[in-house]
Structure 1
Amino acid sequence: MKLYGLVLSGGRSTRMGQDKSVIQYHDRPQREHIYNLLSQVCNKTFLSIRKEQESEISEGISTVIDMDEYKGPFNGLLSAHYTYPKVAWLVLACDLPLIDLKAINQLIAARDTKKDATAFATRKSGLPEPLAAIWEPRGLANSIDYLKQATSSCPRKFLINSEIKLVFPKDDIVLMNANSEEDYREVLSKLESS
């Protein structure tokens, strides 16, 4: 089954105070950095964006425009699923500045296509990271049914109540989210010391 890559970069970045997807940790906007990583291991890769971000996207980068049918990350996830319903999606949030190709390959190698999703989890939390996961078509279809009756549009809650495979990265640090100015400074210090 085909595996497409999706970089979720349509969020509003309110906690960061600036667009997280364009911060440069690796000599290019973060969304492009992750897009390039996924392009090395997926059949096709896309940026998930809001309509008003379209003019900012570099030439040669494929996009999926958010359909604004769902709240939160499900907006991007299901917009991609509706566009290509028969493929699995390796989904990464744009605010994972320490994710690397080694970790991505570990997730792919551990993939269980019989489950709804194969998701990274930190050893500390043991909880699935829905925005660092491979979502199978069946799992995304099931999430649509879930959202019709759920009180929450949280993809983690959906995964907790679904048939999934958890994968623990060799180093939890690759799953660090940079959502605030403080996180940004911490990431820079980690990159400088590595």
Structure 2
Amino acid sequence: MPAARSIKTHLMPDTIGLVVCGGQSSRMGTDKSLLLYYDKPQRYHLYDMLQPFCEKVLISCNAEQTKSMEAGYAVLPDHPSYNNIGPLAALLSAFKEFPQKNILLIGCDYPFLTSVQLRQFSEYCNGTKPVSFYNEQSAVYEPLLAWYPYEAFDPLKKMQEAGEYSLQHFLISVRAVKFYPGSKRSIQSVDTQEDFVRVSTQLFHQRLTFF
């Protein structure tokens, strides 16, 4: 079951938190959102992490993933009109469901992400431009670690209608605010079984240092 909410004042007002499950990863060979790094699958771990930041948190998933969702977790399936367009489907579905709300989009690929880093990130999310974690080494935005203000909905919808689905290109085109995380590990993604084993071991030893 989800953790109880203990903080009433949200750190990101008028913002809906969206945990993006994604689909079956061909490189990983399984659903990344079900990987276990902590005491519960990653999609539920992130759902709990986002509670203090957002007025409402949901898990974005496809129809098949909806069937396996545990009771007590709010779910937002992709809208039928946004099939097969990647993470953009999750974002547009959220804007459609929650007009005039901002969307915090968080993918399940980043096991080192912490609430401390999100708190620092939240301080930048107060304008009319998207804000995204930025990978300085690769010189790219992290679209699944990003805040999209409601002003982004119209240009995103026009992009989708034009057959363009890249959130990376969108963030570049609008010159989204770049957030440089203090810990570069927070943007380290896990894409293969080898990555998963290595990162799980690192996190296990990291937790041991606190005891």
TM-score interval, smaller chain: over 0.9
Q: 2:121 aligns with which of 104, 107, 120?
A: 107
- Decide which of 52, 74, 83 is 2:97's aligned counterpart: 83
Alignment partner for residue 57 of structure 1, among 33, 53, 69?
A: 69
Aligned counterparts, 1:146-161, within 5 A: 146-150=159-163, 152-161=164-173
What residue ranges of structure 1 are gaps of 5+ in the alignment?
A: none
Cα drift, residue 80 of structure 1: 1.1
Alignment of 1:22-101 (within 5 A): 22-68=34-80, 69-70=82-83, 71-101=85-115
Question: AA paired with 1:83?
Answer: E
Which TM-score applies when normalising by structure 2? 0.86
Alignment partners' CA distance in 1, 2:39 and 2:204:
13
The amino acid across from 2:132 in the alignment is: A
- Describe the SS at the equivalent of 2:38: coil
Check 1:123–1:58 CA distance in 2 against 1; reply closer, same or farther (3 A cut): same
Aligned with 1:145: secondary structure? helix
Q: Identity rate of aligned residues, in percent?
A: 28
Q: Is the 8 A contact 1:112 1:165 kept in 2?
A: no
- Show the counterpart of 1:131: 144
| Amino acid in the other structure paired with 2:112 | L
Return the alpha-carbon distance in structure 2 between the equivalents of residues 144 and 186 of structure 1. Answer: 39
CA distance in 1, matches of 2:136, 2:114: 18
Give secondary structure in 1 for the equivalent of 2:27: coil
Q: Secondary structure at the match of 1:21?
A: helix
CA-based RMSD of the aligned residues comes to 1.5
Contact 1:120–1:166 (8 Å) recurs in 2? yes
Offset from partner CA, 1:128-164 (integer Å, 9 cap, x none) = 11100101111132111122225x4111111111141
Q: Which moved more, 1:105-114 or 1:33-42?
A: 105-114
Structure 1 range deviating more: 11-20 or 141-150: 141-150
TM-score, with length taken from structure 1: 0.93
Superposition misfits of 4+ residues, deviation over 4 angstroms: none
Aligned match of 1:185: 197
Per the TM alignment, residue 114 of structure 1 is displaced from its structure 2 partner at its CA by 2.1
Q: How many residues align?
A: 192
Aligned counterparts of 2:205 and 2:151: Cα–Cα separation in 1 = 42
